[in-house]
Amino acid sequence: MTSRVPRPEHPARAMCLVLALIPLSGVAGPALGGVLTDLFGWRSVFLVNLPIVAVAVVVGRRRAIARDGRGLPWPGRRLPVESVVLGASVLRRPSLAFALIALPLPVAGVGAVNFVVPYALVDLPSRTVGLVLPALSAGMAVVSPLAGVVADRYGYRVVALVGTVVILIGTVLLLRAGDDPRDVAWRSAVIGIGHGLFAGPDAAAVLDRTPRELIGTAGGVTTLVRTAGSSIGPVLGASLGGFHATVAALVAITALGVAATVAQVRAE
């Protein structure tokens, strides 16, 4: 998608626009899920996905298949080997190392926050919790497109560094949050703003240092690292067994992300 933008000299804007679409579902999903749970029970949250998936399948078949009818090849024995070799060639590049190291740390924090916040508000109605959870995603969705414009003008790594610092500030603020859902919401929104400043520019920094023949592989590795971070976050929240204990650990993890991003800026 990013390789087909009208102005390829602005990759950060393309990355940030793509990444802005992800938290939009995070804004609508929890709020809608809270209302459905209160009105029809928790099973309705899964039933509502059926028409959404059906529409996605129809649109995907019409738009994602090449005009000549060719689709993706069936995976063979060579595919896993080639994937590992090409992925390793991306990871071995020093110019990409710090960007890929920094990426999963803030993402893990976002996953952990989304996991533990409902437990901090467990005594409140589901629809109230559903309105608090989108605060983080809303902050990211609003700021992400603006971050792309700024990153293309002033540099990807500098904007990514500012983002990690804002995430760290938001995490420290969340550590001091009370039981008021509005208190939790605005502090979570600060984390989302920082993530909006970080995610797109960091991904653009990876693509900027990647040879054109490895763009697809670099995108796959970036997605793998991001998914690993988002998976580790809930595991961390479940293991530490408490809102404040998890957020305190996230302060340390985010500080490591700031350090990795600083090293990335200095390596330019």
Question: Cα Rg for the chain, rounded, in angstroms?
Answer: 19
Residue 64 sits at φ, ψ, to 5 deg, of: -95, -15
**pLDDT tens track for 33-75:** 777 777 788 787 788 778 888 888 887 766 555 555 555 666 6
Lowest mean pLDDT among 38-52, 81-95, 103-117: 81-95
Question: Residue 193's pLDDT is what?
Answer: 92
Using alpha carbons only, what angle is made at residue 116 by residues 114 and 119, rounded to the nearest 5 degrees? 125
CA distances for 56 relative to 38, 60, 61, angstroms? 27, 6, 9
Question: Residue 16's pLDDT is what?
Answer: 66
213, with CB counted inside 10 A (0-12, 13-18, 19+), is: exposed
Question: Residue 30's pLDDT is what?
Answer: 64
CATH superfamily for 10-266 is MFS general substrate transporter like domains (1.20.1250.20)
Percent of the chain at pLDDT > 70 equals 80
pLDDT at 130 over 60: yes
pLDDT band at 216 (very low <50, low <70, confident <90, very high): confident
Question: Residue 12's pLDDT is what?
Answer: 64
pLDDT band at 4 (very low <50, low <70, confident <90, very high): low
CB contact at 8 A, 231 and 127: no
**pLDDT tens track for 157-211:** 888 899 999 999 999 998 888 778 888 889 989 998 998 888 888 888 777 777 7
Return the half-sphere exposure (C-beta side, CA atoms, 13 A cut-off) of residue 106: 34
Q: How many CB atoms lie within 10 A of CB 109?
A: 33
pLDDT at 245 over 70: yes
pLDDT band at 146 (very low <50, low <70, confident <90, very high): confident
CA distances for 144 relative to 195, 198, 203, angstroms? 8, 8, 12
Range 66-94 average pLDDT: 69
pLDDT band at 23 (very low <50, low <70, confident <90, very high): low
pLDDT at 153 over 70: yes
75 DSSP assignment? P
Residue 141 sits at φ, ψ, to 5 deg, of: -65, -35
CB contact at 8 A, 170 and 117: no
Task: Give Cβ neighbours of residue 222 (< 8 Å, ≥ 6 apart).
Answer: 100, 103, 203, 206
CA distance 153 to 122: 44
